[in-house]
């Protein structure tokens, strides 16, 4: 988590002040429930609500001696609350506070991720509709295949990120649980009603069964989802990077006035944002395997997961939050060049229509094997000689014996490839 790739809104969730405030909220809500159960006096809760506070520097100072962050926190709170502080943390263990706090932080982080996702989806939809019928080259293996539209490319990205939005919602639910169950999770020293009260106050669900810690399969799934979202960002970034190559140049990142490309070559306009996003995606995915390895804790609890989560929690959410907004900005300002797209469509002398010719020949009674041979031998001449594919086909007696010259002309109609674009858009956007 470094300022260069961080948004303040997300960083704030992980600041010590935010964390300790959540801790204080958890302890206060637990005391509320304990008072309702008659475990602690109601006036003690009033004092805790009124006087409860902390100072980050003081907690750090105490922890130097205690070597325990929760105890250091409780000691500092007691300095503010006074005698009633003896009722704080009744029947609770450190994991109750730490795990529930992490759940709060991750759900709040997910809300910001969803906001970033919504911005990206809106940008993709706007640009997809703008270029719905902007015909461009479709590629397989990086090689010219058949025509598609740039709008369809963006619609595909929209559908992918729409799925990712649903995954994030599910991940939020998965991680949004509270555990206030005491040592080894038996509720021996604290009533389950306390857990239910704290969960309700924090907007969480209570954990059905905990082993002193919230089960880490939840966290593993959460970070796996973040990794998938990051991979989708990389996929879209890679597409833009390829389209920006000089020899392609069908689209490119916005290049601002005064912006510099290369320190050595003044002519350069480099895809720096999408290259950066490719790297940021790797950082988010870096959290996935450690999160999965955290699932297998010893018996009812150990803390081998703790150091991992203290790092991957902020790093993965802050990085992905930044990446979503950067990706949205790229799409919002993306420069699209239909003329270059048409130039590339025309580059191979009509070879992009080879499948239509193949299918027409088979429909006319030619075997698939012969039809493939007839089309390919002419296609290879286009590759080597730069000739017109259509003219070569018209000069091929075996081809014209099955398909007339007029029929061949019709097979080279570009509109054929866009006839179902409206259908695709209805499937993606559900409109019209």
User: Which residues carry out catalysis?
Assistant: 141, 262
Distance CA 18, CA 13 (A): 6
Instruction: Reduce the DSSP state of residue 41 to 3 states and report it.
Output: coil
Q: In this structure, are residues 228 and 281 in contact, taking their beta carbons and an 8 Å threshold?
A: no
Q: In this structure, are residues 178 and 199 in contact, taking their beta carbons and an 8 Å threshold?
A: yes
Q: In this structure, are residues 88 and 74 in contact, taking their beta carbons and an 8 Å threshold?
A: yes
Query: Cβ contacts of residue 288 below 8 Å, gap of 6+?
Result: 223, 224, 226, 227
How far is C-alpha 36 from the geometric centre of its chain's CA atoms?
43
Buried residues in 165-187 as b, exposed as e (16+ CB within 10 A): bebbeebbebbbbbbbbbbbbeb
Let me know how many helices (H) and strands (E) the chain has, helices first: 19, 6
Q: What percent of the chain is helix, strand and coil (3-state, nearest 5)?
A: 70, 5, 25
Buried residues in 239-260 as b, exposed as e (16+ CB within 10 A): bbbebbeeebbbbbbeeeeeee
Distance CA 368, CA 374 (A): 10
Q: In this structure, are residues 230 and 281 in contact, taking their beta carbons and an 8 Å threshold?
A: yes
State the Cα angle at 28 between 24 and 30, rounded to 5°.
120
- In DSSP notation, 124-147 reads HHHHHHHTTT-EEEEEETTEEEEE
Q: Closest Cα to residue 49, out of 74, 36, 32, 71? A: 32
What is the β-pairing status of strands 251-252 and 335-336? antiparallel
State the Cα angle at 261 between 257 and 266, rounded to 5°.
90
């Amino acid at each position: 988590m470094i300022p260069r790739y961080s948004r303040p809104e997300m960083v704030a969730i992980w600041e010590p002040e935010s964390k300790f405030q959540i801790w204080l909220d958890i302890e206060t809500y637990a005391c509320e429930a304990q008072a309702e159960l008659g475990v602690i006096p109601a006036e003690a809760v009033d004092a805790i609500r009124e006087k409860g506070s902390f100072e980050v520097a003081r907690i750090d100072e105490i922890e130097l001696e205690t070597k325990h962050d929760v105890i250091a926190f409780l000691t500092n709170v007691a300095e503010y609350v006074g005698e009633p502080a003896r009722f704080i943390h009744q029947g609770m263990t450190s994991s109750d506070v730490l795990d529930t706090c992490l759940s709060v932080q991750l759900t709040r982080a997910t809300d910001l991720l969803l906001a970033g996702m919504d911005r990206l989806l809106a940008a993709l939809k706007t640009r997809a509709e703008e270029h719905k019928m902007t015909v461009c080259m479709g590629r397989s293996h990086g090689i010219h295949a058949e025509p598609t539209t740039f709008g369809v490319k963006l619609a595909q990205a929209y559908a992918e990120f729409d799925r990712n939005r649903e995954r994030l919602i599910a991940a939020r639910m998965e991680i949004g649980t509270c555990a206030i169950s005491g040592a080894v999770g038996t509720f021996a020293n604290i009533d389950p009603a306390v857990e239910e009260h704290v969960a309700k106050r924090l907007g969480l669900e209570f954990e059905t069964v905990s082993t002193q810690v919230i089960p880490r399969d939840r966290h593993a799934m959460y970070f796996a989802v973040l990794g998938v979202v990051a991979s989708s960002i990389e996929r879209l970034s890679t597409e833009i990077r390829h389209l920006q190559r000089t020899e392609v140049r069908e689209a490119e990142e916005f290049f601002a006035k005064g912006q510099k490309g290369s320190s050595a070559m003044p002519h350069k306009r480099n895809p720096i944002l999408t290259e950066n996003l490719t790297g940021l995606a790797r950082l988010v995915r870096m959290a996935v395997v450690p999160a999965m390895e955290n699932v297998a804790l010893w018996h009812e609890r150990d803390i081998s997961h703790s150091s991992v989560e203290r790092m991957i929690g902020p790093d993965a959410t802050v990085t992905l939050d930044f990446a979503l907004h950067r990706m949205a900005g790229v799409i919002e300002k993306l420069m699209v060049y239909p003329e270059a797209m048409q130039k590339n469509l025309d580059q191979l002398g009509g070879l992009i229509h080879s499948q239509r010719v193949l299918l027409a020949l088979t429909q006319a009674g030619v075997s698939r094997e012969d039809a493939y041979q007839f089309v390919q031998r002419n296609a290879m001449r286009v590759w080597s000689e730069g000739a017109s594919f259509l003219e070569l086909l018209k000069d091929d007696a075996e081809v014209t014996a099955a398909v007339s010259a007029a029929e061949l002309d019709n097979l080279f109609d570009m509109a054929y490839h866009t006839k179902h674009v409206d259908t695709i858009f209805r499937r993606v956007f559900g409109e019209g």
